[in-house]
Structure 1
Amino acid sequence: MRAYTPTSSVDEVGFSELVIKVYFKACTPSSQTEDSCLNIWTPSPLGHIEYTERGNFLVHRKQRFAKRLAMLANGTGITPIYQVAQTILKDPEDRTKMHEVYANKTEDDILLKDEMDVWEKTHCDRFKVWYVVGTAREGWGYSVGFITESITREHLPETSRDALAFFDLWTTTYDSIRSAT
């Protein structure tokens, strides 16, 4: 079973939108079989982090507050971070500042990029995004390679009592960042 986080607004009732990346069998050796996505089961939310409002979170059922968020994701791990950012940006009175570093293999693999680019333009005082790809075309204006300590120091807020960090990363990415800090 694979878990998915809806990208639809949490206010939507009776409707869920999912981002699902399709890996074609002939192109990706580790892809799933063709019939593996025929059934969808929708249980109750499984997460341990709930955004309640205006910088307030429940993290493992404990109340937390943050003025700034450091958000790291790669691949399809962007969807839980996207959902939190979307909820924060819907409230014009919410002053929570979000700094996101999002990695993927190529520019074409970046999910929800158009939406996040619009957020960065329209909410530049509250939302910043920095992309990292393994390989890029000429003229790419962001980082190439892996998420590194220097990238996190440059694009994420410093550790403080009023900051929280959320990440949804491949284990290898998490291990490489953790060993560098």
Structure 2
Amino acid sequence: MSASKPAARVVAPPRPENPVPALNGKDWQEFTLKRIVDVNYNTKIFRFRLPAGATELGLPTASCVLVRFQDGVDAKGKKKFVVRPYTPLEDPSLGVTGEFDLLIKHYEGGPMSTHIFNMVPGDKLQIKGPIAKYQWKKNETKEIALIAGGTGITPMLQIIQRILSDPEDMTRMSLTFCNVTERDILMRPYLDSLQTNHPNQFRVQYLLEKPTAGWNGPSGLIRPEILNRACPTPGNGKVFVCGPDGFVKAICGNKNPDLSQGTVSGYLKDMGYTENDVYKF
């Protein structure tokens, strides 16, 4: 990426001197669905209202939450729950909005996504967290690569929004967003606008497995030549990877069964990257 000076940025609204998080890290809490926004044919943004008195959800970058709903009772009359992790979005550049988003893809037969897609504004969803993942520190490195497949874009968006909302954070970012077809690309207008507004600090390339006629971008599966264009050289930045298991395995190897990072394998190992260079969401 170009090392030229980043363009001037609009300063984010100031945070409250004493922000009040909605999440406390231990209790299941109910959040009310405020609005549903269509993203594409199988993905929507579910916008939830913060409870009275809270100024933010309370998400360190990068982190996720657990979401649950009751799915009947067992033979002993004990409540059964379906629980899944999701990565909420709460753009710091917008200041205090009183809301946060869940970007959710509907999977046929998936109990959690089906439950959420059946919600209507006014319904409530139980959430617990946050669960900290990677602790972002501004300017810790000059350049990062974000390699995302499908809904693996959400933790990348957390990082992107955190960096671009902080005028003191000069980290340069390259996002490679991999999808099956063009209509599967989530948040494309938003990502394109970020590249337009921050040309010296953020760039994005889209990789399609099955492009249609007229597609001008790269196509096929993720491979070393694509990664080589996107990533800082080993030892000179960080590479973040998130997506389906097979996608992550090919790039850098999956995490351990206990969800610790594990060793780096796959394409990135062959390219000279080590555990210090890579983070797997």
Return 5+ residue gaps in structure 2 as ranges.
1-82, 253-265, 271-281
Per-residue CA shift, 1:14-65, capped at 9, x if unaligned? 4211111123x4xxxxx3258533573211111321324x32xxxxxxxxx2
The answer as to whether partners of 1:101 and 1:156 remain within 8 angstroms in 2 is no
What residue is the counterpart of 1:32 in the other structure?
110
What residue is the counterpart of 1:19 in the other structure?
103
Percent identical pairs in the alignment equals 29
SS at match of 2:136: strand
RMSD: 2.1
Larger helix proportion of the pair: 1
Shift of residue 13, structure 1, vs aligned partner: 6.3
Give the whole-Å Cα distance in 2 for the aligned partners of 1:16 and 1:95.
25
Give the whole-Å Cα distance in 1 for the aligned partners of 2:128 and 2:235.
35
- Point out which structure has higher relative CO (alpha carbons under 8 A, 6+ apart): 1
What residue is the counterpart of 1:42 in the other structure?
127
The answer as to whether partners of 1:5 and 1:79 remain within 8 angstroms in 2 is yes
Give the whole-Å Cα distance in 2 for the aligned partners of 1:12 and 1:158.
38
Shift of residue 150, structure 1, vs aligned partner: 0.8
Return 5+ residue gaps in structure 1 as ranges.
26-30, 56-64
What residue is the counterpart of 1:59 in the other structure?
none
- Going from structure 1 to structure 2, the CA distance change for 1:46 and 1:12 (only over 3 Å counts) comes to farther
- Going from structure 1 to structure 2, the CA distance change for 1:12 and 1:22 (only over 3 Å counts) comes to farther
What residue is the counterpart of 2:170 in the other structure?
95
Alignment of 1:6 onto 2:80: no
What residue is the counterpart of 2:50 in the other structure?
none
What residue is the counterpart of 1:73 in the other structure?
148
Q: TM-score normalised to the size of structure 2?
A: 0.54
Give the whole-Å Cα distance in 2 for the aligned partners of 1:67 and 1:148.
24
Give the whole-Å Cα distance in 2 for the aligned partners of 1:90 and 1:45.
21
The answer as to whether partners of 1:8 and 1:18 remain within 8 angstroms in 2 is no
Per-residue CA shift, 1:100-155, capped at 9, x if unaligned? 11111111111111111111111010001111111112221222111111100012
SS at match of 2:130: coil
- Going from structure 1 to structure 2, the CA distance change for 1:93 and 1:14 (only over 3 Å counts) comes to same
Q: Supply the AA of the counterpart residue of 1:15.
A: E
Alignment of 1:51 onto 2:130: no
The answer as to whether partners of 2:90 and 2:100 remain within 8 angstroms in 1 is yes
Higher alpha-carbon Rg: 2
| Number of residue pairs matched by the alignment | 164
Larger strand proportion of the pair: 2
